[in-house]
Amino acid sequence: MSFGPEHPVAPSDGEVLSSESDFLATLPVAEDMTSDSEALAMSATEEAKPPSQPQKPTPKQEFVGHKDYVWAFVFLHDNIHIVSGSWDGTMRKWNCDTGLLVGEPWTGKGGCIHALVLSPDGKTIACGRMDGSVQRWITDSGKMIEGVWTGHSREVRSLAWSPSGKHIASGSRDGTIIIRKHDSGETEVGPIKAEQHWVNVLVYSPSGDRIASGGLNATICIWNTKTGKLVVGPIEELGASVTSLLWSSDSGRVYTASDKFVRVFDSNSGIELHRFEHDDLVNSITLSPKYNVLACVGQPGVAQLWDTESREPLLSQPFIDHQTLRCISFSQDGRYLASSGLGRKLILWTVKDIVPELAVRVFTPIPQVDKLYSRKFDSSHQHRLALTSMLQIFN
């Protein structure tokens, strides 16, 4: 069986993976602010270094323990824990501060885990398995909730939880979408015959009235969540299988990953607005909940971050992990970025170590059509900004 973007070729048993220092390409770092006395105390060796010499940030944690591909993971709402799902059939809960496994692996029947989704209240995780079943797990205890949902004839490749928390949608290799009540598992809508071959990815709009699906046949469809009717699409000719989808916070745009591009579409008309070009096939994308940042990973393990407003890359050189990366996500508070794939592990990064300028990015609300826009300030403006803020407070 050949592997495309959905099933990249795994390293052979005899292949030696590169060391941690080889994972990253050269990145810019923020200048250190030192006093005159500190500057004079610098050694001759340090003074001889080029002032712009970049450094290579290292991962905060590497979570190792799965015995097969780590195909999905979710950050919990506490911003301390992360839960991973693997082709080894287990889920594992990790502590982001210590890097250690919390409790025992969560085991269940049904084979490989292809998809995970966290409930809006953060209390429950749903997982999709190879046998076409959907299970629900309690995030605190790691216990499975009684009642395994069936209905798909092939593996569940994608899951989406409605913003209200009342429904869970599943997409399968059998080409169908089922929307169920979260408490009983009763089918509310479907099965919807998506006609996308495999339904690789599903994402609810923040408004909850629509759901977008990405297919193996390089199409995007947007459906009405109450009727199951197609409302936009299919959006076609995306170059390759759709592997990842995101909605903008206002439900007005859809971000999609396929071939070498991250395309942005108007969610009402299906018209392409713009695109971001990656170095290779894109497997996964994520938007930061804190900054205006889009992150993407693909083959062979290349990751890039983009400013969604300027549409410029934030890294002069992408950082590289010498394994095919299948999933990437920001933590709930935007401090961390994690990735996983064929290396049987999760890698956790501190965002400010990857892009130091984000640590000094200041957000100022501007009253314009009820949205918040970001403004960037360099370090030379810090003192003036602080003084202006103090005057505003006193006024």
Residue 49 has pLDDT above 50, yes or no: no
- Span 290-310, pLDDT tens digits: 888 999 888 877 888 999 888
Alpha carbons 147 and 288: distance in angstroms, whole number: 34
| Interval 35-54 mean pLDDT | 37
State yes or no: pLDDT of 135 exceeds 90.
Answer: yes
Helix (H), strand (E) at residue 126: strand 124-129
- Which segment of 35-44, 193-202, 210-219, 289-298 scores lowest on mean pLDDT? 35-44
Residue 63 neighbours by CB distance under 10 Å: 24
- Torsion sign across C-alpha atoms 316, 321, 324, 328: negative
Q: Please say if the pLDDT value at position 14 is more than 50.
A: no
pLDDT, position 44: 35
Mean per-residue pLDDT, 2-30: 33
Q: What is the mean pLDDT of residues 63-89?
A: 94
Q: Which of 380, 347, 353 is nearest to 73 (CA)?
A: 347
Contact assessment for residue 49 and residue 55, using Cβ atoms and an 8 Å cutoff: no
The pLDDT, as a whole number, for residue 78 is 93
How much is the pLDDT for 354?
Answer: 86
Query: What is the pLDDT at residue 316?
Result: 79
Q: Domain ranges for the chain, please list them.
A: 58-351, 361-395
Cα–Cα distance for residue pair 330/321, rounded to 1 Å: 17
Pairwise pLDDT comparison (105 vs 370), residue with the higher score: 105
Percentage of residues of the chain with pLDDT beyond 90: 55
Predicted confidence (pLDDT) per residue in 334-377, tens digit: 999 999 988 888 999 899 888 887 765 543 333 333 332 233 33
Percent of the chain beyond pLDDT 70? Answer: 76
Which of 129-143, 311-325, 346-360 tops mean pLDDT?
A: 129-143
Q: Cα–Cα distance between 30 and 334 in angstroms, integer? A: 19
Predicted confidence band of residue 92 (pLDDT cuts 50, 70, 90): very high
Burial class, 83, CB count within 10 angstroms (exposed 0-12 / middle 13-18 / buried 19+): buried
pLDDT confidence of residue 245? 94
pLDDT at position 56 is: 57
Q: Which residues contact 286 (CB under 8 A, 6 or more apart)?
A: 246, 294, 295, 296, 328, 329, 330, 337
Mean predicted confidence (pLDDT) in 307-328:
82
Tell me what the pLDDT averaged over the chain comes to: 78
**Residue 51: how many CB atoms within 10 A of its CB?**
6
Task: Tell me which amino acid residue 379 is.
Answer: S
Strand segments, DSSP code E, in 10-112 are: 61-64, 70-75, 81-86, 90-95, 106-107
Q: Rounded to whole angstroms, what are the CA distances from 135 to 88, 109, 150, 155, 257?
A: 16, 9, 9, 13, 27
Per-residue exposure over 136-173, b if at least 16 CB sit within 10 Å of its own CB, e if not? bbebeebebeeebbebbeebbbbbbbbeeeebbbbbbb
pLDDT for the residue numbered 356: 80
Task: Please give the distance of CA 295 from its chain centroid, rounded to a whole number.
Answer: 7
Domain range 58-351, CATH class:
mainly beta
Q: What is the pLDDT of residue 208?
A: 93
Q: Whole-angstrom Cα distance, residue 383 to residue 387?
A: 6
Which residue type sits at 51?
P
Predicted local distance difference test score (pLDDT) of residue 366: 32
pLDDT at 298: 81
Of 95, 46, 76, the residue nearest 346 (C-alpha):
95
User: Hunting for tokens 């290579």 — which residue is that?
Assistant: 56
Comparing C-alpha atoms, which of 62, 59, 9 is closest to residue 319?
59
For the stretch 152-165, pLDDT in tens is: 999 999 999 999 99
Is the pLDDT assigned to residue 256 strictly greater than 80?
A: yes
When mean pLDDT is compared across 130-139, 350-359, 383-392, the lowest value belongs to: 383-392
pLDDT above 70 for 36: no
